[in-house]
Amino acid sequence: PEDAVARLRARLAGQPAARRVTVLHETDLAVAPGEVLGLVGESGCGKSTLGRVAAGLHAPDTGRRLWDGADVAAMPPAQERATALGIQMIFQDPHASLNPRRRVGDAIGEAAGVHGLLEGASQADFAAELLRQVGLDPAMADRFPHQFSGGQRARIGIARALAVQPRFLVCDESVAALDVSVQAQVLNLFMDLRERKGLTYLFISHDLSVVHHLADRVAVMYLGRLVEVAPTAELFREPAHPYTRALLDSVPRLDAGNTVFQPLKGEIASPLAPPSGCAFHPRCPHAMAVCREQQPALQPVAAGRFAACHLVPACGTVPSTDSQSAP
């Protein structure tokens, strides 16, 4: 039997290695205190994985996570625990993470109680105050999750995250399941909390209009890599990367007047078989021979702006009047 176990172990050990998929390639992203950084891309591009890594829910194989300039993995345990509380993730469906048999007030108050953050208040008073802060009637604390609407449950999910006094919220499609009018209300709540509590956000969304209203800067991902990072207004006004442009053209936008919009051609490739060179080349209208061979690096293309494309010259190296820079 020992032989059999050893053989089985060897087989199991071999399998994951053979099927290993790189979901996220070298990705370097910093969020400044108080900033809202939007992260966009089609589903399957790796943005949720990046969010989970940022939130500490998923350990990357390589690379580091820095918080206030310090490597989280190298922190003493107490500091690491404090950091973990300081970063909270808010998911798309708070319903799934709320225990259906627990009164929401208990769920909220307990999170703070466990970590000794009640600051002298009773668990009930603490929960009532948080419900008030997210725009819900504190009298609702005694209700169960199924007694709330989708928008109210989103607020409860936010209240529960706030219970541990985070400084940084990672929101993954946090309003995607809501009706548009309710979405707007919850987005306003996020902005309001940002002002009141000085929160920092990584806001992940496939919906460009959501990010447009919320983010100071936007990072665009394609197949596990950042392809463009820019201040929001500049990115929407003048996208540098062909993929960003295609994403913007694929949705009708009143401000840009593109009433005739172009759906993105083709599908995002599988991370199991990523295209050679620039992973976007099979869908890119500007693809050149070099694009099939060389992976373009993310590099500065203007003040505060980064892009990974052979067509976009790095700032300072190629004159911006170069004919190739304006496809």
Q: Which stretch binds ligand SF4 (CB under 6 A): 70-78, 106-114, 130-138, 309-317?
A: 309-317
Q: Which of residues 226 and 284 has its CB atom nearest to ligand SF4 in the complex?
A: 284
Question: Distances in Å between the alpha carbon of 22 and those of 14, 45, 243, 269?
Answer: 17, 11, 21, 13
Q: Closest residue (Cβ) to Mg ion?
A: 48
291 is an interface residue for ligand SF4 by CB under 6 A: yes
Query: Which one among 38, 39, 48, 306 touches Mg ion, defined by CB under 5 A?
Result: 48
23 alpha carbon, distance to own chain's centre = 14
CA angle in degrees (0–180, nearest 5) for 206-212-216? 110
Of residues 192 through 231, those in contact with ligand SF4 by CB under 6 A are none
* 183 binds Mg ion, rule: CB under 5 A: no
Contact status, residue 43 vs residue 204, Cβ threshold 8 Å: no
Check residue 205 for interaction with Mg ion (CB under 5 A).
Answer: no
Per the CB < 8 A criterion, the answer to whether 171 and 190 are in contact is: yes
Which does residue 48 bind out of Mg ion, ligand SF4, none, counting CB within 5 to 8 angstroms by kind? Mg ion
Angstrom distance (rounded) from CA 308 to CA 240: 9
Residue 20 CB-density burial (10 A; 0-12 exposed, 13-18 middle, 19+ buried): exposed
Q: Which of 91, 148, 280, 306 binds ligand SF4 (CB under 6 A)?
A: 280
Q: Which does 210 bind (CB under 5 to 8 A by kind): Mg ion, ligand SF4, none?
A: none
Q: Is 232:38 a contact under the CB 8 Å cutoff?
A: yes
73: Cα separation from own chain's centroid: 21
Q: Does 46 bind ligand SF4 (CB under 6 A)?
A: no
Token code pair at residue 107: 């769920």
Total residues at the site for ligand SF4 (CB under 6 A)? 14
Q: What is the spatial distance between Cα 166 and Cα 157, in angstroms, rounded to a whole number?
A: 13
**Could you tell me the smallest distance in angstroms from the CB atom of residue 212 to ligand SF4?**
22
Q: Which of residues 235-274 bind ligand SF4 (CB under 6 A)?
A: 242-243
Question: Which of 178/291 has CB closer to ligand SF4?
Answer: 291
**Residue closer to ligand SF4, measured from CB, 189 or 298:** 298
**Among 36, 159, 210, 278, which residue sits at the site for ligand SF4 (rule: CB under 6 A)?**
278
CA 176/CA 210 separation, integer angstroms? 9
Name the residues that contact ligand SF4, by CB under 6 A.
242-243, 278, 280-281, 284, 286-288, 291, 296, 309-311
